[in-house]
Structure 1
Amino acid sequence: MAGMINEVSDKILLKYLLPANVDAQAQIGVYGANYKLAILMTLFIQMFRYAAEPFFFAESGKKDAKATYSRVMTYFVLFTLLIFLGVTMFIDVFKYFIGPKFWAGLMIVPIVLAAKLFLGVFYNLSVWYKLTNKTLYGAVIALTGAAVTIVLNIVLIPKYGYLGSAWANFFCYLSMMIISYFWGRRIYPIKYQLKKIAAYTLLAGFIYYISRAVTIENNYLAFLFHTVLLLSFAGLIIVREKRYLATQKAD
């Protein structure tokens, strides 16, 4: 129920909280169309979720289960960062899937993608309350996220419209991720590779910034530039992770 609130409340509240002089249906249409551009992230997270849950339970009895969960988290974040960069840097291609009349809302796409990334990390973190049979904790976290969603939508929509809804979505899943991490650390501690995850995330953020800051008028050159940036990030991941895995095998 809380999950449904997080996903649909923004569309409902937009209808009632936008100023009277704003075309609510048009705003909802723009918001919904651009929200759908996060579909690659959403699909990846859903596929991961369906595959990961039985995997987590199957691994739970093994001695190195927590180390496995940690590695899964790292590679999950790496894949979602690649999706984030792929969609945002090639937004001039993806935007044609929704049509010119919705392009005014393209600024919410990075926000929604980041929100979905946080949600995916939350699903990863959920291993602690599922394996310890403390699913009530998960419900409390989800309800907290729902409360954040509703409150921020009420506060932000009248002033910022659908941009406020996007940020409400962002902070909802960010709060759920943070609460789950610290709660889980007390009950079922897992040594996640936080420094590595943070380093890759900062690098991805820097690459995203560069892609936005550097303006190239020629579409073909811009496409080439963004391709080089994305492949450089992917290449760096492959090289560094191969070295890491080699050292792990050597040990």
Structure 2
Amino acid sequence: MPEKKSFIKVGIIYAIGQVLSKAISFILLPIYTRQLGTVGYGQLSLADTVLDFINTFVILSIYSGYIRFYREYKGEERNKLRNTAINFALILTIIDLIILMIFGRTIANIIFSFNNSYKIFALIIIRSLLSQFVILLMCDYNLNYEAVITVTINLVMLIMNLILSIYFVVYKKQGIIGVYSGYILSILMVLIYLVMVNVRNFKFEIDKKMLKYMLTFSGGLLPCNVSGTILTLADRYFLAGYRNYSEIGIYSVGYKFGMLIQPLFVDPFKSIFTPYKFQIWKDDDASVKFNDMYKKYHFFGCLIIIFIALYSRIIISIFTTKDYMDAYKIIMLILFSYFLYGENEFYSLGIQIKNKTYLTGIIMLLGGMINIILNVILIPKFGMYGAAVATLISYLSINIINSTFSVPLYKVKYDFTTTLINYLIVIGIYGGYYLLTLINKNLIIEFFYNILFIFIYIYLCLKFKLVKKDDLVRYIKLVKMKILSIKSRTM
């Protein structure tokens, strides 16, 4: 693991990369919302959730097992582990394509109820396969903390997708098919590059013992991944059944903003924490290190939650049409849901370290069942608001169950009192903001009083000693220095 300064530097690079990535992807939002309308955007959202579900199965998330056992091997043995994962994925790809050709039309007609369902389903499968191989071939960069390479590749892929989407959706008027065509071509070009870079180390070899280890780990995560997809897929299907595609479109815009917590904070955090936790869990002071990361996760994560929640209404007004404005009302619920889900990186330590990932699957299945039950109860009466509440309660339930099963396997005493105070501050600030939105309709005035709310959060965190003033100043300086260094290199 890099020294502390490098550790922070890597995190900043990932965070900047995610911000730039989201900035590029958000340029697509006005294109999709205006070109597709609320109905078409709702259908696209449904297609994307099916994509998330399929991603779990196409190559069985073999890269998860590769990440888990990467540090267990060195030199040629590590290369053999990589080749085993790649070759297994290639075999599954052939099987997937055969299944698509034989059963694709039947499956597509069951899943979708709109035109060109088979063609869209085929594009979903192809996009899923290509993106999973990109993830697999980029594992080494993440595992070795090569953040600059990872961020650069992702940005190039997004820029190409932006250009292709404008061509297919705006110029060619191809709708959802154009959206997926743009994704596929951009991913394919990146995949070709990664294959060329890695081909010299490739060999057709499969080590049965290594494959067993990886599949035991990644296979144990399958129920978890399936349940996680159910948590995001079920609400769309119930909204389609009880309401309409237009409400799905509005809900999806709010969901998209709510999920910003993942690329802006949770994903960069996981990019560092995932290899870090497998490296330090045996240390004598591991508990102290984990608890320190836990506190940082909550302070900075809640800061970003407040920022997104307070400014989402303004951004929605800029990037979409007035038909989507109600989306801001569910954003805080979705933000908290995915922030709570990110907490499982801490609560699942025992399960992952002891290689009992099947427990995670059981926990996620329980969460998925809770989500379905809540959707059935809440969506008919409350629509998208009920769906958002169901998501929040489901992820909270998962955290409670996860900590019950996992913590006894690897005990770390976390400071829950500090976390609770942090949450109460966030809820209080957002409550004040929401009440003001009911009175004030001027977005310019809203922009400025939101700044005051952010400073209130920081002040209260300092007041209640949720963060040290010296630490906060140091992090601000590091971020500022990193941004300035990136500017100087690009000029």
TM above 0.5, yes or no, is yes
**Cα deviations across residues 160-204 of structure 1 (Å, max 9, x unaligned)?**
212221111111111001111232333322110111111121112
Q: CA separation in 2, counterparts of 1:208 and 1:188? A: 35
- Give the structure 1 partner of residue 240 of structure 2: 15
Q: CA separation in 2, counterparts of 1:64 and 1:219? A: 49
> How do 1:67-86 and structure 2 match up within 5 A?
67-86=288-307
Q: Counterpart of 1:78 in 2: which secondary structure?
A: helix
- Give the structure 2 partner of residue 248 of structure 1: none
Distance 1:28-1:219 versus aligned 2 partners, 3 A rule: closer
- Give the structure 1 partner of residue 420 of structure 2: 198
Q: Counterpart of 1:62 in 2: which secondary structure?
A: coil
The residue type paired with residue 33 of structure 1 is V
| Cα displacement (A) at 1:107 | 1.4
After superposing the two structures, state which structure 1 stretch, 206-215 or 73-82, moved more: 206-215
Q: CA separation in 2, counterparts of 1:142 and 1:155? A: 20
| Cα displacement (A) at 1:12 | 1.8
Query: Bigger radius of gyration, 1 or 2?
Result: 2
Q: CA separation in 1, counterparts of 2:316 and 2:396? A: 26
Q: Contact 1:37/1:94 (CA < 8 Å) preserved in 2? A: no
Q: Contact 1:34/1:98 (CA < 8 Å) preserved in 2? A: no
**Cα deviations across residues 106-136 of structure 1 (Å, max 9, x unaligned)?**
2111111111111111232111211122212
| Cα displacement (A) at 1:13 | 2.3
- Aligned to 2:384, which of 140, 150, 162? 162
The residue type paired with residue 5 of structure 1 is I
- Give the structure 1 partner of residue 338 of structure 2: 116
**Cα deviations across residues 11-57 of structure 1 (Å, max 9, x unaligned)?**
122222x1xxx5x1111111111111123202122232232111100
> How do 1:25-174 and structure 2 match up within 5 A?
25-43=245-263, 44-96=265-317, 97-174=319-396
Q: CA separation in 1, counterparts of 2:266 and 2:392? A: 16
Q: Contact 2:341/2:395 (CA < 8 Å) preserved in 1? A: yes
Q: Counterpart of 1:57 in 2: which secondary structure?
A: helix
Percent identity, please.
23
| Cα displacement (A) at 1:216 | 4.6
Highest RCO, 1 vs 2 (Cα 8 Å, sep ≥ 6):
1
After superposing the two structures, state which structure 1 stretch, 44-53 or 54-63, moved more: 44-53
The residue type paired with residue 49 of structure 1 is K
- Give the structure 2 partner of residue 230 of structure 1: 454
Unaligned runs of 5+ in 2: 1-225, 472-491
**Cα deviations across residues 123-152 of structure 1 (Å, max 9, x unaligned)?**
321112111222121111111111111111
After superposing the two structures, state which structure 1 stretch, 221-230 or 112-121, moved more: 221-230
Q: Contact 1:34/1:109 (CA < 8 Å) preserved in 2? A: yes
| Cα displacement (A) at 1:235 | 4.6
RMSD: 2.1
The residue type paired with residue 67 of structure 1 is V
Q: Contact 1:157/1:163 (CA < 8 Å) preserved in 2? A: yes
TM-score (norm. length: structure 1): 0.87
Q: CA separation in 2, counterparts of 1:244 and 1:124? A: 25
The residue type paired with residue 351 of structure 2 is Y
> How do 1:207-226 and structure 2 match up within 5 A?
207-214=429-436, 215-216=439-440, 219-226=443-450
TM-score (norm. length: structure 2): 0.46
